[in-house]
Structure 1
Amino acid sequence: MVFEPDGRRRYVVIGAGAVGGVVAAHLVETGHNVVLVARGEHARRIRSRGLVVRRPDGVHTVGMTVAEAASEVGLSPSDVLLLTVKTQDVESVLAEWAWKPVHSAGGPVGVGADLPVVTFQNGLAAEGAALRRFDNVYGATIAVAASFITPGEVVSPSLPPVAGVIWLGRHPGGRDDVQDSIARDLGKAGFAAFSVMDERCHKAAKLLGSVANALDLLSGPNDLRDRARNLLREEAVGALQAAGIPLTPHHGLDYRGVRLVILPVAGHVPGRFSTWQSFARGTTSEVDYLNGEVVLLGRLTGAAVPLNRRAQRLAADPRFAPFRSLAVLLDGTDGLPGHASCNVRSSLKNGAATD
């Protein structure tokens, strides 16, 4: 099957959280053909009244086509899949979409795995997972202050022409006309979108900031928060370098002079990252692909990453929920508070109470 990147292009946005909702809304508002794949009450509200987008200039309602599953979407050769679910959901979603038939007027011409797929996930795992099935994978790193807490609505506190910044490139490297055209569409939709040769560098650069997302869950003073943020980042830099994963110059995202302005939105409390938003909604967290990514690299290379290991456990292990504080993170103990010699594996094996 040959992908047909012409004027009939449709974007299938798989995942209607903060990133997916905001990207889909901007694409629809600038005349693009979009299907938004959402779930549950979120999907039902969008379908019945449109997606509510709360912005600094007011509340907008954006009507769009909504599906609740891959089975509701018929694919064509001019479709582009934008994968905007959290990293922990990537594998099941890829399996659902990769082998769906693609039809043209003459009948079946291929499967979903023949279409371009753009991975918007944090961390480094999504692109490799996609490449197991899809021929054409494009990694997208996005800087956006969007949030999703309430079903049927998202918050987008930055306005066009820079509603967010996106670095998009072919995985595992290179550049082609497809990514250039997708970047142009995203640019026209109100994002600063850069088509890059080294998408993995940008994913790694964002990871250096995302390892601090778990700190939103921990109580404590700002001086400890700043210390923890710096230490988590230092460990991540060391693990990435030990693994031979390239980083951008100065280990940061290159905004190329573009300024992402975050403005107040009525009724919205800013500054909460995606990890906190997941916990607030009572859903699973991507911490295993943020701090957990650093932990994995540390185990593979021998790099020391004790603070990222502790941050992962504080966020993911329910036994640590009563002890989620910066002081516990920084105290240097891997066991539960009050159980400094606690061996988690033996405690579980023996059925011992650890909290």
Structure 2
Amino acid sequence: MKAIGFKTSLPISAEESFIEFETAVPHPSGRDILVKINAISVNPVDYKIRQNSAKDTVLETPKVIGWDATGTVEAVGEAVTFFKPGDAVYYAGDLTRSGSNAEYQLIDERIVGLKPSTLSNAEAAAMPLTALTAWESLYDRMRISEQKDKGKSILIIGGAGGVGSIAIQLAKKISGLKVITTASRTETKEWCLAMGADLVVDHKNLTEEIRTAGYQEVDFILDFVDLNGYWDAIVELIKPQGHIVSITGSATPIALNKLKNKSVTFSWELMYTRSMYQTDDMEAQHHILNKLAELFDNGTLKTTLNTILKGFTAENLKEAHRLLESGKTIGKVVIEY
């Protein structure tokens, strides 16, 4: 089968930043399924790992990355119970295993869902990683429920990106929250409003813009951009006993002591935690993806696909990474096989 990978970390403009090569089709065992891939999408984690995982070294075998994918089940391991050959599936993958930038992939059935039947392959491939991240942020970390939280306010920092685009929809349409999000360009503001945001503010004057709009503080804050860069504004804007979730990490310590007097809860979210550590509730991602598929199919949620590249080639993968690295993408970038 064809796969696309890299032997060393190079700038995306370099000729061998991605290389095409042939490798054997793997065989499933245990709870693994073998998927023939139809479309993949690219996320910031893809280019970050490409840039950093093979620095100052040349790998003997190319490293295959990529996580979001949709495809058809070709074969199943002996312990598989959720799927059968012929099933259309979608998933966000596992950081610890070979990725989706290939024609076939082995994936644990516990982190795979049935593809939304009303979405095309490209539309479905755009969704797993970002939708799981947003869902876990809202419902596993913040434990938001419509019954107790409907009408409360949430600030989403980075609303036009992949995660922000679906988080807006979930917060508004599933949980009934008042959604405030950040965007600075006309096209990103329009995108956020189309996703369902109630208010879009400029991130450059975050505190001032939110207070001018009539919000002294907000109940929940999701950071999808730069935790340290916005930390002082986040501390000032979060309500006492509020909850903050960040997916961005931090190269330097976060001053959590600034939250003490407000008794604010802070949580990290990493969509890969369940698969990386084989947690007892790893299977939850299977059920979340199936629930999300229902919400796409009944029209509650819509895909955040915005750019399609046709053809599984190294050049298209380079272009997808280049677009993501620009920091100006809106919604999701998908490569259709």
Structure-2-length-normalised TM-score: 0.28
Higher RCO (Cα < 8 Å, 6 or more apart): 2
From the two aligned structures, give the one with the greater strand fraction: 2
Question: Which structure dedicates a bigger proportion of its chain to helix?
Answer: 1
Query: Scaled by the length of structure 1, what TM-score is found?
Result: 0.27
Which is higher, the Rg of structure 1 or of structure 2? Answer: 1
